[in-house]
Amino acid sequence: MPTDPDTGYDPSLGRKFVFVTGGVMSGLGKGITAASTGRLLANAGFDVTAVKVDPYLNVDAGTMNPYEHGEVYVLKDGGEVDLDLGNYERFLGTDMTFDHNVTTGKTYQHVIERERAGDYLGKTVQIIPHVTDDIKRRIREAAEGSDVCLVEIGGTVGDIESMPFLEALRQFAHEEDDEDILFTHVTLVPYSKNGEQKTKPTQHSVKELRSIGLQPDVLVGRCEDRLDPETKEKIALFCDVSTEAVFSNPDVEDIYHVPLMVEDEGLDEYVMERLGLTDEALPEAERSTEWRELVTRDREEEIDVALVGKYALEDAYMSIHEALKHAGIHTETEVNVLWVDADETTDRHEERLASADAVVVPGGFGSRGTDGKIEAVRYARENDVPFLGLCLGFQMAVVEHARNVLGLEGAHSAEIDPDTSHPVIDLLPSQYETEDMGGTMRLGAHETDIEPGTLAAAVYDADSCTERHRHRYEVNPEYIEALEADGLAFSGRADNRMEILERPNHPFFLGTQAHPEFRSRPDRASPPFVSLVEAALESTDTTERNADVRL
């Protein structure tokens, strides 16, 4: 099929596609199901990539509230995207780009800009073909060069926001050979009060999908336990698929065990068979087992890490949770995360903070919770507790030092207090004239030079590092000399930007302007997180430390 001259859509890009939709309710785990399938395909020797489709009108996730949407994940090219892209990077072991996230806002913005530029030569611009062709174009371009592209459609079938995307998938099915495309539908299979697995929600969800013109090839039932054989047969009968195409995805203690679960169900073998990839796959004896070995590794030690943040929602700090988990895998340590509400650090969470073996102060925006974060930094500094500050946590460590060590009364970040007499953290020079909030921060991967012989050099075992950033404010150059005069050292710099700080006379005190959690993987744990866990393991016994803590 030739490229459409009006829309620029080229249907020849890409090779094999697996589309993953969801029904009944959101948050079922479509992304984890897709990522787990991709992990198994990668184990079998295939080059796998992924695309996340988000039906919201935002161009990207950069301005979205973490309470509504979880963390904003940052890609190496600076794309601010849905947190599911983080799961894809962690499961597939690959770096995505902003092109791997398709939103309604991004698509409509592009189509409208082309219309304003006259690219459509006066034709009436419509959902079909202009918007749907742009959706298909984006998916195919992101898939180019891969063996298999997993495409997750956000939201739930039946949502009005998803309709253009589902229509694009219907067209996709007409353009592809049957063995080049696979539709997977993830649904909820709840229990009734008498303990029966109920299939009616799945039936209604598939009915909704079929009314759009899409017939699922694979059904994945999310349930507390594996689906009973009778449940699978009933779903197959009423949803017009074979029983062999119905799979269980039961609850597990750790999301990294989902690939093991769906492998036991045979989902990967079924997908390869339907896509005509069985003969190209590595023999089972030659497939990678590294993932299984990593996620089932025994934990010999156990520590508690206090995470001092202001969003009482685990998804808001997902990458930090995962990075701590990866560090635990690397060090064979069970890492328990203790939530400490930065708003209530001194009122309700003293004991939780005092019982922790290490403290992490994460990033964030706005003034709420900053006083609690500063107090957490002070506690870690004064009590020799291993500390890791990330982005805003790095900045609050600078503020705490300025206030409590140097005696600069009222020192703060100009972001939090524009009238502070000592703006030790100030706006990036490049941000002074910025008006739009979306996509205008210092974003993406940037290199930092590390001073030899420092803690940072030992952490990274190198004289430089590359980490992802997301910030507007930085250490004010006017205060650097004063800040370094009494116990604080900036050991990582990018030109005149202060990137890493440490306290040479502290067992482990490290802050970074970057977000190292975004590059952490199960098989490539982030160095700052690994070093934090190792320092916690080497620290004094918790009960001994609690005897003389100062809060």
Q: Per DSSP, what are the bridge partners of residue 223?
A: 250
Burial (CB < 10 A; 0-12, 13-18, 19+), residue 10, is middle
Burial (CB < 10 A; 0-12, 13-18, 19+), residue 358, is buried
Catalytic member of 89, 415, 467, 517: 517
For residues 315 and 83, the answer to whether their CB atoms sit within 8 Å is: yes
For residues 316 and 279, the answer to whether their CB atoms sit within 8 Å is: no
Q: Which of 413, 429, 410 is nearest to 421 (CA)?
A: 410
Catalytic residue check, 412: no
For residues 302 and 334, the answer to whether their CB atoms sit within 8 Å is: yes
C-alpha dist (Å) from residue 292 to 150, 206, 217, 282, 296: 21, 33, 27, 17, 6
Q: Supply the angle between the helices 30-43 and 84-92 in degrees, to the nearest 10.
A: 20
User: What is the distance of C-alpha 303 from the center of its chain?
Assistant: 24
Catalytic member of 391, 412, 415, 467: 391
Q: Per DSSP, what are the bridge partners of residue 361?
A: 389
| Strand arrangement, sheet containing 148-153 | 101-103, 48-54, 148-153, 16-22, 181-188, 218-223, 246-250
Q: Tokens 């339907």 belong to which residue?
A: 274
DSSP 348-397: T-HHHHHT-SEEEE----SSTTHHHHHHHHHHHHHTT--EEEETHHHHHH
C-alpha dist (Å) from residue 488 to 362, 384, 505: 19, 14, 9
∠ CA 315-320-324 to the nearest 5 degrees?
A: 125
Q: Which of 528, 204, 484, 536 is nearest to 357 (CA)?
A: 536
Instruction: Tabulate helix, strand, coil % of the chain (nearest 5).
Output: 40, 20, 40
Task: Indicate the length of the chain as a whole number.
Answer: 551
C-alpha dist (Å) from residue 49 to 169, 215, 263: 18, 23, 19
Catalytic residue check, 244: no
Rounded Cα distance between 214 and 217, Å, is 9
For residues 22 and 155, the answer to whether their CB atoms sit within 8 Å is: yes
Catalytic residue check, 223: no
For residues 526 and 519, the answer to whether their CB atoms sit within 8 Å is: yes
Q: What are phi and psi of 146, to 5 degrees?
A: -100, 160
Q: What are phi and psi of 372, to 5 degrees?
A: -65, -35
Q: Which residues are catalytic?
A: 391, 515, 517
